[in-house]
């Protein structure tokens, strides 16, 4: 990111801005230029103070990490792309450097909190690596024991049957070679396991040190930490997006109590459907809810139950759902990928109280239905193809409307 692409509507950075804050502000200004809107308009869009946003972009105030992540998401959505992990890592390093350069207790506290979260993530990855290497070591050790048993049997037969010495010698040599290969693999796995255990112990020790440092920085009144949710999975799955139609108009028409009741009713509906279908819901913002399912049948059932059960759960307003099947990536609590972008686009074009799915989801659904051995477990669905339409960043999309007969 260079200063040649800075947005024209922003004032030049002051010479008094520290170098670390200047680098971060320059990167944020380049990101903000991708939105092609004014500071005041963006502040209104995100319900933020326009003066605070302006100071974030001018380097006079250090923004919180949540603002940086929110801006990166908005720019990625504007371009019809997913957030790149390299961009997030680059911004995170600049943010940490700016925090460390300030040197005041509040900045040190925030920096330590970020370091603790990152170190905890590495500790979890090391623990997973230890488990994988342990399983691999046990598997190779079992194979080695089996080969050694066969070798002893062959050697015994070799001593008893001298007439078959030639054939047994070839088998014995092959087993010896296999034994040497497995011994080499076992030694390599043991070395890797020891290194992984050492790294895991180091990360755990660093976590404990950072926790003690946080306790000192926070003072005698320590806040109880909320339970950390498990990391979101990655892989091929059904990703769905649920939207409350006309939510912006509802915020103006309903009172605060009615608006809160509507959102809570929607959350309760999602929680009950999750118990039935096993879907995992993620509350992205006030008007949208995302969910993930391991199979196309459970994903379709989740989408249809959302639009069918809303009346029974005091959700009186219209909903729409978009479903896609494909590869979904997760990092640091953020899900991204082309499947996520397609699901958001299908949700935006879905009819009121309707469920739209992409061709990959419909194909996977048909495959799962055909493989069901139990006729009672097969869902009774109607699939109707819709018109093709272009979607920005995704090309031509042909959605399918899912319903019950």
**CA gap 399, 391 in Å, rounded:** 11
Q: Which residue has the higher pLDDT, 9 or 46?
A: 46
**Structure tokens, 250:** 């509802």
| pLDDT tens readout for residues 345-401 | 888 888 888 899 999 999 998 888 888 766 666 778 888 888 888 877 677 888 989
Most confident of 18-22, 134-138, 226-230, 281-285: 134-138
Q: Sign of torsion, CA 16 21 27 33?
A: negative
Q: How confident is the model at residue 390, as a pLDDT?
A: 82
| pLDDT tens readout for residues 278-335 | 888 887 665 688 999 988 999 999 999 988 876 655 566 788 899 999 999 888 778 8
Q: How confident is the model at residue 22, as a pLDDT?
A: 86
Mean pLDDT of the chain: 81
**CA gap 344, 394 in Å, rounded:** 11
The answer on pLDDT for 341 being more than 70 is yes
pLDDT grade for 245, boundaries at 50, 70 and 90: confident
Q: Return the HEC string of the chain.
A: CCHHHCCCCCCCCCCCCCHHHHHHHHHHHHHHHCCCCCHHHHHHHCCCCHHHHHHHHHCCCCCCHHHHHHHHHHHHHHHCCCCCHHHHHHHHHHHHHHHHHHCCHHHHHHHHHHHHHHHHHHHHHHHHHHHHHHHHHHHHHHHHHHHHHHHHHHHHHHHHCHHHHHHHHHHHHHHHHHHHHHHHHHHHHHHHHHHHHHHHHHHHHHHHHHHHHHHHHHCCCCCCCCCCCCCCCCEEEEEEEEEECCHHHHHHHCCHHHHHHHHHHHHHHHHHHHHHHCCEEEECCCCEEEEEECCHHHHHHHHHHHHHCCHHHCCCCCEEEEEEEEEEEEECCEEECHHHHHHHHHHHHCCCCEEEECHHHHHHHHHHHHCCCCHHHCCCCEEEECCCEEECCCEEECCEEEECC
**Structure tokens, 297:** 């049948």
- Note whether 60 and 14 are within 8 A (CB): yes
**Structure tokens, 81:** 């792309």
- Note whether 24 and 95 are within 8 A (CB): yes
Closest to 90 in 3D by CA, of 37, 48, 17, 31? 31
Q: How confident is the model at residue 5, as a pLDDT?
A: 45
- Note whether 319 and 310 are within 8 A (CB): yes
| pLDDT tens readout for residues 246-258 | 777 777 888 888 8
- pTM to 2 decimals? 0.43
- Note whether 74 and 83 are within 8 A (CB): no
């Amino acid at each position: 990111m260079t200063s040649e692409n800075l947005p024209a509507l922003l004032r030049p950075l002051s010479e008094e801005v520290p170098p670390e804050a200047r680098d971060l502000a320059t990167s944020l200004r380049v990101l903000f230029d991708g939105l092609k809107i004014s500071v005041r308009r963006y502040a209104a869009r995100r319900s933020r103070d326009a003066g605070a946003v302006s100071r974030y972009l001018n380097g006079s105030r250090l923004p919180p990490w949540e603002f940086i992540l929110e801006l990166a998401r908005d720019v990625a959505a504007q371009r019809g792309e997913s957030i790149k992990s390299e961009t997030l890592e680059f911004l995170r390093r600049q943010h940490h450097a700016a925090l460390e350069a300030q040197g005041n207790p509040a900045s040190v506290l925030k920096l330590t909190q970020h370091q603790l979260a990152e170190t905890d993530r590495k500790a979890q990855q090391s623990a997973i690596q230890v488990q994988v290497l342990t399983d691999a070591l046990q598997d190779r050790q079992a194979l080695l024991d089996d080969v050694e048993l066969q070798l002893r049997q062959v050697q015994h037969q070799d001593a008893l049957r001298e007439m078959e010495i030639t054939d047994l010698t070839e088998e014995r040599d092959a087993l010896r070679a296999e034994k040497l290969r497995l011994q080499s693999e076992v030694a390599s796995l043991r070395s890797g396991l020891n290194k992984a255990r050492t790294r895991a112990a180091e990360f755990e020790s660093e976590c404990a040190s950072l926790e003690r440092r946080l306790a000192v920085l926070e003072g005698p009144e320590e806040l109880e930490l909320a339970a950390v949710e498990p990391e979101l999975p990655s892989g091929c799955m059904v990703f769905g997006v649920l939207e409350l139609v006309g939510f912006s108009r509802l915020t103006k028409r309903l009172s605060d109590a009615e608006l809160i009741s509507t959102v809570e009713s929607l959350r309760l509906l999602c929680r009950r459907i999750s118990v039935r279908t096993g879907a995992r819901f993620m509350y992205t913002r006030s008007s949208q809810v995302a969910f993930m399912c391991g199979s196309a049948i459970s994903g379709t059932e989740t989408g249809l139950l959302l639009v069918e059960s809303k009346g029974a759960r005091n959700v009186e307003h219209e909903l729409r759902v978009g479903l896609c099947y494909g590869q979904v990536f997760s990092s640091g609590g953020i899900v991204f990928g082309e499947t996520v972008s397609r699901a958001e686009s299908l949700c935006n074009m879905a009819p009121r109280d309707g469920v739209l799915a992409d061709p990959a989801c419909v194909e996977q659904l048909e495959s799962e239905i055909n493989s069901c051995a139990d006729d009672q477990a097969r869902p009774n669905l109607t699939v109707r193809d819709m018109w093709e339409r272009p979607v920005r960043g995704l090309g031509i999309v042909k959605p399918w409307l899912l319903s019950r007969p």
